[in-house]
């Protein structure tokens, strides 16, 4: 990058808020070191940074907590890291409105703690809440087990302020929970991975904290039975807040005793005390005839460990893939996927949000050959499995050599062409996180 450009950027954010050289270590992604990392202190500074970068043709990589920084197709140029950590204030919280407006760099943990003090919460529970920022969570569309009942960022985000690739402040949505004025811009930024705008501020819907919350595990000797039990719970009167399945491998880090070929069904409930109590009993009654046994309450700490259970099954995974299928097809995907790995002599661990059909598959590196071929073959099998059931798969994490062999993103087909037009129309200089997203965006 031109030294004159860097000087201009330094002048905008102040030298103390520019990192270079060895300080860039935490911002190295897939071996690529950014040209600089900048931490603007206001929306206007973010605007000015993007404007200067766009003028100089330097790519901008919006950076929240960095928890999803490695997601995506490897970048051809690292560009400038634009860190939002100094934009971390809670701006407006009127409990009676059940909404909160905040800056994008606030961490999920800080937000939830501020809300909890006033009896409310944002019903979104992505992993790594201490590091993950609200802006990053929205850009990466991160979520957790409670999405079963409460949905994802798209259901909660009602207003967004972004800086476009041309350095313009744009606001979409608003501060009210119901709003159909103009196009639904907030939806556009959910899961856009920083490619359409730098999210600087958001307004989200809140919920009152439930009186009680509980998590229950039920063991099954055969994963098919666990799948049938998950479906039975879905078809029942119960209103679980989470409905998870973890296979035997992924059960280990959760300290659940599940035999080989078995599965644990983990169900969360919240609400007033007698509702939670009744449902915990009822879920045992419904699932026992289907082969469920050892119904046990889990400690509250397990909630945050559910998302990483499959990853935690192995010391160093070879790859992590996310398969999205129809909810009724999750167990089939898990069984066939594990079998596809076994056929190539590889271990795998599986967990899923059973009620929404989102499956996390982790391939073990133990026993894997150094060359990426067999790993890539398994991943391709997994993707084919998802596609066969009308779904899709994203390679959430893999070494570069594997990413070279297996595309990170699925083929978006004709919709991909609309996405490309959208990107070209909204980020005409192609400055925002270029080359990392779906359809080459």
Partner 1 sequence: MAGLDGVRKLQLRRELEAVVGRGAVLSDPEELLVYESDGLTLFRALADFVVFPTSADHVSAIVALANREGLPFVARGAGTGLSGGCLPAEGGIVISLMRMNRILEVDYDNQIAVVEPGLVNLHLSWAVGPHGYYYAPDPSSQQACTIGGNIANNSGGPHTLKYGVTTNHVLGLEVVMPDGEIVWIGGKTRESFGYDLAGVFVGSEGTFGIATKICVRILKKPQAVKTVLGVFDRVEQASAAVSAIIARGLVPAAVEMIDQLTIGAVEDAFGCGYPRDAAAALLVELDGLAVGMDTQATRIVEACRDSGAREVRTARDEAERQLLWKGRKSAFGAYGRVSPAYMVMDGVIPRTKLPYVLSRVNEIVATHGLRVGNVFHAGDGNLHPNILYDPRKPGEEARVVEAGAQIMRLCAEVGGSISGEHGIGLEKADFMPFIFSAADLEFMRRLKHAFNPTGRCNPGKVFPTRKSCGEAGPVAYKPHPIEEKGLAQRF
Enumerate residues 124-153 that contact partner 1 by CB under 8 A: 141, 151-152
Site for partner 1, residues 26 to 55, rule: CB under 8 A: none
Please identify, using beta-carbon distances, which residue of 31 and 182 lies nearer to partner 1: 182
Q: How far apart are CA 220 and CA 264, in angstroms?
A: 6
Would you give the distance in Å from CA 34 to the centre of its chain?
23
* Pair 38, 71: CB distance under 8 Å: no
Please identify, using beta-carbon distances, which residue of 26 and 119 lies nearer to partner 1: 119
CB of 247 to partner 1, least distance (A): 21
Please identify, using beta-carbon distances, which residue of 171 and 366 lies nearer to partner 1: 171
Does position 191 interact with partner 1 (CB under 8 A)? The reply is yes
Site for partner 1, residues 293 to 332, rule: CB under 8 A: 324-328
Please identify, using beta-carbon distances, which residue of 39 and 121 lies nearer to partner 1: 121
Please identify, using beta-carbon distances, which residue of 107 and 360 lies nearer to partner 1: 360
Q: How far apart are CA 244 and CA 126, in angstroms?
A: 15
Does position 280 interact with partner 1 (CB under 8 A)? The reply is no
What separation in angstroms does the CA of 273 have from each of 52, 85, 212? 55, 39, 6
CB of 190 to partner 1, least distance (A): 6
Does position 209 interact with partner 1 (CB under 8 A)? The reply is yes
Does position 204 interact with partner 1 (CB under 8 A)? The reply is no
Q: How far apart are CA 87 and CA 89, in angstroms?
A: 6
Choice from 3, 117, 235, 301 touching partner 1 (CB under 8 A) = 235
Q: How far apart are CA 143 and CA 150, in angstroms?
A: 10
What separation in angstroms does the CA of 62 have from each of 16, 59, 71, 143, 336? 19, 10, 13, 19, 38
Token pair listed for 186: 């907030």
- Of 395, 413, 415, 393, the residue nearest 405 (C-alpha): 395
Does position 56 interact with partner 1 (CB under 8 A)? The reply is no
Choice from 409, 433, 434, 436 touching partner 1 (CB under 8 A) = 409
Maximum alpha-carbon separation in the chain: 72
Choice from 61, 102, 185, 363 touching partner 1 (CB under 8 A) = 185
CB of 401 to partner 1, least distance (A): 23
Look up tokens 């957790």; give the residue.
144
Q: How far apart are CA 24 and CA 22, in angstroms?
A: 5
Choice from 192, 241, 308, 351 touching partner 1 (CB under 8 A) = 192
- What x-and-dash track marks residues 97-116 binding partner 1 by CB under 8 A? xxx-----------------
Ordered DSSP codes for 347-376? -EEEEEETTTTEEEEEEE-TT--SSSHHHH
Choice from 32, 86, 175, 429 touching partner 1 (CB under 8 A) = 175
Does position 164 interact with partner 1 (CB under 8 A)? The reply is yes
Q: How far apart are CA 252 and CA 246, in angstroms?
A: 9
Choice from 17, 133, 241, 279 touching partner 1 (CB under 8 A) = 279
Does position 117 interact with partner 1 (CB under 8 A)? The reply is no
Does position 348 interact with partner 1 (CB under 8 A)? The reply is no
Does position 96 interact with partner 1 (CB under 8 A)? The reply is yes
For 285, counting Cβ atoms within 10 Å of its Cβ (0-12 exposed, 13-18 middle, 19+ buried), the class is: exposed
Does position 422 interact with partner 1 (CB under 8 A)? The reply is yes
């Amino acid at each position: 990058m031109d030294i004159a450009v860097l000087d201009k950027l330094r002048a905008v954010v102040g030298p103390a808020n520019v990192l270079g050289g060895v300080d860039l270590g935490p911002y190295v992604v897939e071996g690529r070191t950014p040209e600089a990392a900048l931490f603007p202190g206001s929306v206007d500074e973010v605007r000015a940074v993007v404007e200067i970068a766009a003028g100089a043709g330097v790519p901008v990589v919006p950076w929240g907590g960095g928890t999803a920084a490695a997601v995506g197709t490897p970048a051809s140029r690292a560009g400038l890291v634009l860190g939002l950590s100094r934009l971390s204030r809670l701006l407006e919280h009127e409990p009676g409105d059940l909404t909160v407006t905040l800056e994008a760099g606030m961490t999920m943990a800080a937000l939830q703690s501020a809300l909890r003090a006033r009896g409310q919460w944002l019903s979104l529970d992505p992993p790594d809440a201490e590091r993950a920022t609200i802006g990053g969570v929205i850009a990466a569309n991160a979520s957790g087990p409670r999405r079963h009942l409460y949905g994802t960022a798209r259901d909660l985000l009602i207003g967004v302020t972004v800086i476009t690739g041309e350095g313009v402040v744009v606001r979409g949505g608003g501060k009210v929970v119901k709003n159909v004025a103009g196009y639904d811009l907030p939806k556009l930024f959910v899961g856009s991975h920083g490619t359409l705008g730098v999210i600087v501020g958001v307004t989200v819907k809140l919920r009152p904290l439930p009186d009680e919350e509980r998590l229950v595990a039920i063991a099954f000797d055969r994963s098919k039975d666990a799948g049938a039990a998950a479906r039975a719970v879905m078809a029942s009167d119960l209103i679980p807040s989470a409905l998870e399945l973890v296979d035997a491998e992924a059960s280990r880090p959760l300290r659940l005793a599940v035999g080989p070929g078995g599965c644990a069904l983990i169900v969360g409930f919240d609400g007033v005390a007698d509702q939670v109590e009744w449902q915990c009993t009822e879920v045992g009654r419904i699932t026992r005839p289907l082969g469920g046994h050892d119904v046990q309450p889990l400690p509250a700490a397990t909630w945050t460990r559910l998302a990483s259970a499959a990853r935690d099954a192995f010391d160093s995974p070879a790859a992590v893939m996310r398969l999205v299928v129809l909810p009724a097809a999750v167990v089939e995907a898990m069984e066939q996927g594990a079998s596809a790995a076994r056929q190539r002599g590889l271990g795998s661990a599986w967990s899923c949000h059973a009620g929404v059909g989102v499956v996390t598959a982790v391939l073990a590196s133990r026993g894997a050959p150094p060359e990426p071929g067999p790993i890539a073959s398994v991943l391709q099998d997994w993707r084919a499995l998802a596609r066969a059931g009308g779904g899709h798969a994203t390679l959430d994490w893999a070494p570069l050599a594997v990413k070279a062999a297996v595309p990170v993103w699925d083929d978006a087909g004709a919709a991909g062409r609309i996405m490309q037009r959208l990107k070209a129309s909204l980020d005409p200089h192609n400055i925002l996180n270029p080359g990392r997203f779906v359809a080459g965006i």
